[in-house]
Every structure is written in C-alpha cells, then in structure tokens.
Amino acid sequence: MPQPLNIYLASSWDNLAQVQETTKLLRAHAHQVYDFTEQGRSAGPHWPKKGEAVPYGQLAQLYQLPDPTMTFTRDMQALDRATALVCILPCGRSAHLELGYAIARGIITVILTPPTQGGHEREATEAIHAGPETDEGREPELMHRAADALCSNSAHLPNLLDLLAARVYPPPGYKLSPDPNHEGRSVREERRPAPVAPRNLRVYEPLHVHPGVHPKLAGN
C-alpha cells in the first residue's frame, strides 16, 4: 500500500485555484499537504505590493520585520518536515528557491505544469530524465531537470508520487528495480544521495546587520 507523504506545495498566489485543487486532490489520497494559501497573506502591512521595487540597500531591513520573519520561519519549518515537494507552474523566485532547497535535501520533487494552450492537458507524464520536453508557449528552464519528474496532467500526480515514493522511500525488504541505463543502479542512486531525515526544526534567526557594512540599515 502506498505510504502517505508530507507534501509541500510551492507556487504563486496567482495560481490560487490550482493550488487549492491540488491540495484537495492529494489529501483525498491520504497525503498530508502544506498549502501556503491556507495560511493567509501574512507578510505584513510593510511588505511591498506585487511588482513594487525595493532598493537593494533596504532589503535586509525589510526581511527582519516581524511579519516576514514569522512567515519565513513557518514556511521553512514546513519545508523541513516535508518528504515531497510539488512545484506548480508558473511561479516565481520564492517557489523556485523552495524547489532547490527540496532537491538539495533529497526529498521527492515534482514540477506540475499548467494545461497547454487551448486548455487541453497532455496525457503523458514524463520522467525528466527520460528526455527534456517543454510545455507549449512557455520559456524552458534547464535546471528543472534536477527535479524527479515533470507532470503535465494533475490527475496523474497521485500515481506519480506513489511510484516515486516506492523508489525513494522503499519499505523494509523492498528491492529497487535496476535502471538499465545506469549499470544496475537506480536513477536516484546515480543522481544524488539518499534523502536526509528531517532535522530538528531549526529556529530561523532574523538577519543581523553589521554596522560597519550597512551603516544606513544599522541606524547610523
């Protein structure tokens, strides 16, 4: 029987409906899901509006404000608990940073693409290492190949996660099927070490501004 995963959804607020639909789908398959849209937009009243630029010299001060610190800590602790991450495209820099962090941790990572132009999803779900393929009308991102799989149909996502979980987190006594293209080693063994166990939840301290480096930010 497939084991439940603790899944972190990384995406954009612009994808609100798709994120919520994916949450419902995965929970219906007994997975735990961290859905950032359920936490509310809590970066605080001082956080810039979308598209509003902030001078580089003010970034460190902005990141230290209480509301952004709380949101960052909450999201990172959920990411540390996760055993899988689903990145729903299109999304921005924060979601891609979360994707990279999950890849470095060695947990399952899947990129879920939106429907192709015309509103029709492709029927295929491709393992990234079987060959790169980009969605219609969207700029490709080469480093997406570092993830475990690219899924172009959300209906296939639960089965895909079950297949990946059997390879990445096999139950005791389960023998991985060798990959003929990797001399008997599994694809995951070839690419990176086994997933690391979640650490004790770290406390993410606010940034410390050194007076000698950023005198304006330090109040001098």
Segment 55-78, tens digit of pLDDT: 898 888 888 888 888 888 899 999
Question: Could you tell me which residue, 87 or 54, shows the higher pLDDT?
Answer: 87
Length of the chain: 220
Phi-psi map region of 73: left, alpha, beta (phi>0 left; psi -120 to 50 alpha): alpha
Contact indicator for 135, 112 with CB cutoff of 8 Å: no
Q: CB neighbours of 182 closer than 8 A, spacing ≥ 6?
A: 189, 190
Reply yes or no on whether the pLDDT at 135 is more than 90: no
Furthest-apart CA atoms within the chain: distance in Å: 63
pLDDT band, very low/low/confident/very high, at 161 (cuts 50, 70, 90) = very high
pLDDT at position 42 is 64
pLDDT band, very low/low/confident/very high, at 139 (cuts 50, 70, 90) = confident
Over pLDDT 70: what percentage of the chain? 64
End-to-end CA distance of the chain: 61
With 0.95 as the threshold, say if the pTM is over it.
no
Contact indicator for 110, 86 with CB cutoff of 8 Å: yes
Strand order in the sheet with 32-34: 32-34, 6-10, 84-88, 108-112, 149-151, 125-127
What is the Cα 112 distance to its own chain's centre?
Answer: 10
For each of the domains in the chain, give its residue range(s) and CATH number, in order of start. 6-191 (3.40.50.450)
